[in-house]
Amino acid sequence: MTRLFNDPTEFADEMIDGFVAANANQVRRVAGGVVRSTRTPEGTVALVVGGGSGHYPAFGGIVGQGLAHGAAMGNLFASPSAQQVESVALAANRGGGVLLSFGNYAGDVLHFTQAEQKLNAAGIQTRSVAVTDDISSAPAAEKHKRRGIAGDLTVFKSAAAAAEEGYSLDEVVRVAELANERTRSFGVAFSGCTLPGADAPLFTVPDGRMAVGMGIHGEPGIDETDVPTADGLASLFVESLLAELPEGISSPEGRRVGVILNGLGSVKYEELFVVYRRIAVLLAEAGLEVVDPEVGELVTSFDMAGASLTLFWLDDELERFWRAPADTPAYRKGSVAAVQQLDPSEIEAAQAVVIPESDEDSRQAAAVVAHAIEAIARVVDANADELGRIDAVAGDGDHGIGMQRGARAASAAASEALALGAGARTLLELSANAWANKAGGTSGALWGVALSAVGDALGDEGRPTADSVSVGVAAAVDGIMSFGKAEVGDKTMVDALVPFRDTLTSGVEGGASLADAWQSAADAASAAATATADLLPRMGRARPHAEKSLGTPDAGAYSFGLIVQSIAAVLAGATEGEK
């Protein structure tokens, strides 16, 4: 378990600060993550990678010459927000365009896609490639749904080397997509990991048993078996990966492969070498030529005990990129050319927040909004453990932790904005950014969308009405469904959100006060959230193990019900003028 920490909610930020202090010759801190501290030639394509913290050396540890130009680093096991990705990309950009690359997880896809859209709208040519190497997470016919694990490195390394050679953005994207298509991984776990401040691991595996196909966040595997010998694990790895060859490769015979045997956090290097000894023999017997194998920790999961094997099927171009030199805090290969250090002023962090003008009516409304967000933080705090328990049934168990981080950050941002004289729209916008930044993941993205949409409807001038709140909620639902692609019946927050919107709209149109209409809508949302226990998930991390969630409500829908009930209490207790 993780023993050394201060405030668990500050762990990721403090970790990044310490990482930068220890590696100042290679990385610099920027808002949202880190970028290279060395000078990159103008016109070079910038590779920006990222994901949740807790996987070191992914993602900050591979920023440096020959590899990534920047890394957006989210909170623990939570994707960085779109704002964080955009900030890192702006700092890393050198005029040749930006490639965003990340593991194929719902939260990462949402945030990086949103950042890509914002960067392109700002005139910075940006593309993205999601890594999908884990063969256990979806069948070959649906390989676009697969998650990214240790195979991240082969894609990042290839794209970065292409950028170093001066390839255009289109060509760097081509290389990244080819590397992803040529990469296959398979992993196992012997025990779960415990996040800072948690009193239990995210998941457990019975003593003497091994979860087969386990994800790096604790996502359930596809099977459970007795722990094999080292040679037995090597055979499982090699047989599983050779059973599915990339397109265009009909036989392993005579092929060259890059190999990664990755430790997930608690498996010792000596153990990995014992396993690799047999892997090398099995690959040779299959007729494969191994090129520059990597044995060690490349993508970890705190103290998870487990390992994965990655095969990277090379052609001449990919082999050149796989062998290319690199110099980063956690990954070094060959010898890179000496380069000049950047002046810190060239990569400054985000600018101070500017509060737009507002009138007294909107500032009074902002006070009620701040009270509501404070109530959200309290109810999430009180139910964080239960939300985590519900999420762990078929997911990775971090919903409570993520919601807690997001709600606390939003409440703090609301208080600060209120003290600075913000109107309702600005207060909600700053709270939305804070929630998305701290929570990360899918829930962080969706709650950021929701708060921003309601803020846009309320504005910074005039007293909000029941109608304007109803319009804002409807816009929030539209934004969430468009962004997250979920529909009613998918067993997500949307199952509670849509009845809430419909009931609120009906009540307001019927002449009910906002407080009364909101309470009726909250009751409808709570009932719908409870009813999700009878549904099977059709998207997200729970989808591969849908049957496990039957009888348990969706964590996102359940937390939404709690939140809107807490806001109902605030509205019921507000003065007549505030209402």
Judge whether 139 and 299 are in contact, CB under 8 Å.
no
Residues 6+ apart with CB under 8 A from 8: 195, 196, 197, 198
How many whole angstroms separate alpha carbon 37 and alpha carbon 351? 19
How far, in Å, CA of 375 to CA of 383, rounded?
12
Place of tokens 């929030």: 476
Phi, psi of 131 (to 5 degrees): -85, 135
Cα(296)–Cα(438) distance, integer angstroms: 30
Distances (CA, A) of 130 to 148, 170, 177, 486: 8, 15, 9, 20
Active-site residue, selected from the candidate residues 55, 69, 111, 217: 217
Q: In whole angstroms, how large is the CA radius of gyration of the chain?
A: 24
Q: Is 55 annotated in the active site?
A: no
The DSSP call for residue 72 is E
Q: Which two tokens stand for residue 88?
A: 């890192």
Contact 492, 541 (CB under 8 A): no
Decide: helix, strand or coil at residue 223: strand
For residues 488 and 480, give the distance between their C-alpha atoms in angstroms, rounded to a whole number.
Answer: 12
Task: For residues 189 and 482, give the distance between their C-alpha atoms in angstroms, rounded to a whole number.
Answer: 35
The helix or strand, by DSSP H or E, that contains position 262, with its residue range, turns out to be strand 256-263
Q: CA separation (Å) from 108 to 79, 101, 143, 315, 393?
A: 5, 10, 17, 29, 22
Q: Which residues contact 65 (CB under 8 A, 6 or more apart)?
A: 26, 36, 38, 164, 325, 326, 327, 328, 336, 337, 339
- What the block records as the tokens of 308 is 């994965």
Distances (CA, A) of 551 to 202, 371, 499, 533, 537: 20, 34, 21, 5, 12
The Cα 573–Cα 567 span in angstroms is: 10
> How many CB atoms sit inside 10 A of residue 96's CB?
20
- Within 8 A by CB and 6+ apart from 358, the residues are 366, 421, 422, 423, 424, 425, 426, 460, 461
Beta bridge partners of 100: 48, 128
Of the candidates 172, 273, 264, 165, the one whose C-alpha atom is nearest the C-alpha of residue 210 is 264
Please list the active-site residues.
217
